[in-house]
Amino acid sequence: MYGVTLNVNLNTRQIPRHRKPRKLPDILTQEEIQALFNACDNLRDKCILMTLYGAGLRLSEVASLKVSDIHSDKMQLFIRNAKGSKDRYALLSQANLEILRAYWKAYRPKEWLFYSRNHTGIHMTPKAVQNLFHKYVKKAKITKNVTVHTMRHSFATHLLESGTSIYHIKQLLGHSNINTTCVYLHLVKIESLNVTSPLDQMAESDKDNG
């Protein structure tokens, strides 16, 4: 408004900004994610949820997967036109590949991996994926405040807890900035870090000297 309409140049660095409190998102445990899978009443829905978690995909990415995007020879999923209009490869786990194969044999998808049931020839909408996710969250009696994106958060957090490098996770998630990935450092359980407090190290040193 100032620059274009009023032709007034402002130094934006001098404008005070309101800092919003940053709350960490809820993360599903691996037991809760398994309960989510177990709650599925059909193979397609279970396959979608397992692909979301197993590859750490965004909502739009899983909805628009093509059959040709499954590269089983390299154990990768090709993600086209992801956030920022960038293509990338995501992780394809063995368990994910097995259920994808079972799904393909049962449903025989042609172009789109997860196609719309209402409109032949197009892929599922992100809204349809959201609906099935919340259906099974309720069915699995999960009371946490979660969304489809929680599966991606959980994927990254569980990898970090198992010792995967933050730089490898950055690549798998398709982040352009490592600072975005570092948010997951705040979500890791303290007990999984296997870190000794320097106070305990001092106490051990005193015992040895004594």
Asked whether the CA dihedral 51, 158, 145, 59 is positive or negative, the reply is: negative
Pick the catalytic residue: 44, 88, 123, 152? 152
> Among candidates 58, 64, 62, 61, which has minimal Cα distance to 180?
58
In the set 66, 80, 83, 134, the catalytic residue is: 83
- 150-205: pLDDT as tens digits: 999 999 889 888 888 888 888 888 888 888 777 777 777 656 656 666 666 677 76
Number of H helices, E strands in the chain: 9, 3
Looking at residue 82, what is its pLDDT?
Answer: 73
**Interval 5-14: pLDDT, tens:** 777 777 767 7
pLDDT in tens, 49-71: 999 999 999 999 999 999 999 99
**Which domains, and CATH codes, for the chain?**
24-191 (1.10.443.10)
DSSP 176-188: SSHHHHGGGGGTS
Match 């015992």 to its residue by tokens. Answer: 207
Does pLDDT of 31 surpass 90? Answer: yes
Q: Annotated catalytic residue: which of 46, 58, 153, 170? A: 58
**pTM of the shown model:** 0.78
End-to-end CA distance of the chain: 71
